Amino acid sequence: MYDAYFKYLRNFSPKPLTDDEKALIMKNFTPFRLRKRQYSLQAGDICKKFAFIVKGAMRMYTIDDKGIEHVVRLGIEDWWMGDRESFVNLSPSRYHIDALEHCDLLYLTLEGANELQEKVPAFCQMKSILDERNQMANHRRLTSSISSTAKMRYTEFVECYPELADRFPQHIIASYLGINKDTLSRVKRQHNLK
Amino acid sequence: MYDAYFKYLRNFSPKPLTDDEKALIMKNFTPFRLRKRQYSLQAGDICKKFAFIVKGAMRMYTIDDKGIEHVVRLGIEDWWMGDRESFVNLSPSRYHIDALEHCDLLYLTLEGANELQEKVPAFCQMKSILDERNQMANHRRLTSSISSTAKMRYTEFVECYPELADRFPQHIIASYLGINKDTLSRVKRQHNLK
DNA sequence: AAAGAGCGTAGACAAATGTCTACGAATGTT
DNA sequence: AACATTCGTAGACATTTGTCTACGCTCTTT
């Protein structure tokens, strides 16, 4: 389990981890197996653990007044999943997180994250790089959501995240893109004809 | 000019600045007066300076293939304005930034930012808090853009940023919200009737 | 005062997207 | 094998949003 994370860390810092660092990581990451359809977080609860996805597929979403689900984030292997706002501020989350496939996770608490950030440079490095990337990705998603049609948004999504496009069911992707599942179906049909 | 920024910093760190710190800030921030309709950044250029707005109102936007402007960010007193991706990566920006009113700015270069981050704890503190906040604000904006109608988006916007709502012309706000200016006009009309 | 630019509003129409219902294929469950 | 569930597709229709044109108001500039 932990090897997946050690390997992942090498993407951010080429320097090999010391044994002490590995021990710290193993101490602070708790392996967890989340079964399909099981919740990792329920809206109203505080997000006390951030998940590193070793294997599987997850989503984070809200449910609005009309009972409609809106997918806010998707994640598969090597992605992180959690409600950052709730995690950092210890505030109740507005989001649900659940598994769309059986998942192998490594759970990290806030204290764990803080300790690793202090004592494991590679982790700190990872965090700051991810923060930057995340910020840019969100920004791009926002721009495209504001200025593009449904068809363009879907095309961009497939180009940008091909792994996600065939991993998640279509209605989930539609929700992620902020469009109706029927609309997405239509868009794909018209797209194929050209 | 600098006093505005010193005062602003106190929101992030109560500890008063030392004279050395003040000197460092004054060394790295360049005052600049940007007149109405003047550009601070043109798409294609590298964003070499980040602006702290002492006074005035600015916007950042793209122009798409059809020549339509899409406002990505708005800013007034005590806000920052710049294309972070371009600024950090020294990559050409896709955005324009200009002034909607006469502006008094404090310009900061990347080197300046790095020096301040190293040597002025209050600045570093400010940056990390702003990063967090910015991330959350973007996330909220994204969620609302994906899951809300035009009317709801406008209502949320007014609640969240009343200062912006009456400071910027309506067609700019419409663009910021990702809706047509005519649609926003309609939405407001219907809103007032209820 | 005159002319022009910027801005908000309005209405008619077009296009995009949402809603609803139904169906069939694939999959999982018993 | 029988059954229920999930998922994608399709078409008819409603609603929302965009497009275009026109008008009037305000402000600036001349």
Q: Answer whether B38 touches A (CB < 8 Å).
A: no
Which uninterrupted H or E stretch holds A7?
helix A2-9
Nucleic strand C within 7 A of Cβ B185: yes
- Tens digit of each residue's pLDDT (9 = 90 or more) over B64-74: 888 899 999 99
Q: Give domain status of residue A169, yes or no.
A: no
Report, in ranges, which bases of strand C sit under 7 Å from a protein C-beta. Answer: 6-12, 16-21
CB < 8 Å & 24+ apart, contacts of A116-122: A116/A24, A116/A25, A116/A28, A119/A21, A119/A24, A120/A17, A120/A21, A120/A24, A120/A25, A121/A13, A122/A9, A122/A12, A122/A13, A122/A15, A122/A17, A122/A21
3-state secondary structure B173-193: HHHHHCCCHHHHHHHHHHHHH
- In terms of average pLDDT, the best of A121-130, B102-111, B143-152 is B102-111
pLDDT of B193 > 60? The answer is no
Q: Give domain status of residue B136, yes or no.
A: no
- pLDDT level of residue A193 (50, 70, 90 thresholds): low
Least confident range of A87-101, A132-146, B15-29, B108-122: A132-146
Q: What integer is the mean pLDDT of A21-41?
A: 96
Nucleic strand C within 7 A of Cβ A170: no
- pLDDT level of residue B10 (50, 70, 90 thresholds): very high
pLDDT of A111 > 80? The answer is yes
- pLDDT level of residue B24 (50, 70, 90 thresholds): very high
Give the whole-number percent of chain A exceeding pLDDT 90.
85
pLDDT of A54 > 70? The answer is yes
Q: What integer is the mean pLDDT of A24-44?
A: 96
What Å value separates CA A48 and C1' C4? 61
Q: Give domain status of residue A28, yes or no.
A: yes
CA distance A61 to chain B (A): 10
Which parts of A73-120 fold into alpha helices (H)? 84-89, 110-119
Domain count, chain B: 1
- Tens digit of each residue's pLDDT (9 = 90 or more) over B42-68: 999 999 999 999 999 999 999 988 889
Q: Give domain status of residue B150, yes or no.
A: no
What Å value separates CA A48 and C1' D3? 41
Flag if B136 and A84 touch (Cβ within 8 Å): yes
Tell me what pLDDT residue A12 has: 94
Tell me what pLDDT residue B9 has: 97
Tell me what pLDDT residue A5 has: 97
Given phi > 0 = left and psi -120 to 50 = alpha, else beta, which region is A158? alpha
Tell me what pLDDT residue B67 has: 87
Q: Which residues of B touch A143 (CB under 8 A)?
A: 62, 70, 72
Q: Give domain status of residue A85, yes or no.
A: yes
Tell me what pLDDT residue A65 has: 85
Q: Give domain status of residue B60, yes or no.
A: yes
Q: Answer whether A113 touches B (CB < 8 Å).
A: no
Q: Give domain status of residue B175, yes or no.
A: no
Q: How far is CA A182 from the centre of its chain?
A: 25
Q: What integer is the mean pLDDT of B79-94?
A: 95
Cα distances from A78 to residues A127, A193, B193, in angstroms, run: 14, 35, 51
Tell me what pLDDT residue B104 has: 96
Is this complex scored with an ipTM above 0.90?
no
Tell me what pLDDT residue B178 has: 96
Burial of A132 (0-12, 13-18, 19+ CB in 10 A): middle
B57 Cβ contact list (under 8 Å, min separation 6): B74, B75, B76, B99, B100, B101, B103, B167, B168
Tell me what pLDDT residue A191 has: 75
Q: Answer whether A160 touches B (CB < 8 Å).
A: no
Tell me what pLDDT residue A190 has: 85
Which uninterrupted H or E stretch holds A52?
strand A49-55
Q: Give domain status of residue B151, yes or no.
A: no
Q: Range of B86's domain?
A: 2-116
- Tens digit of each residue's pLDDT (9 = 90 or more) over A125-166: 999 889 889 988 998 899 999 989 999 999 999 999 999 998
A83: CATH: 2.60.120.10
Q: What integer is the mean pLDDT of B75-89?
A: 95
In total, the C-beta contacts within 8 angstroms joining chain A to chain B are 64
Q: What integer is the mean pLDDT of A22-46?
A: 96
pLDDT of A41 > 90? The answer is yes
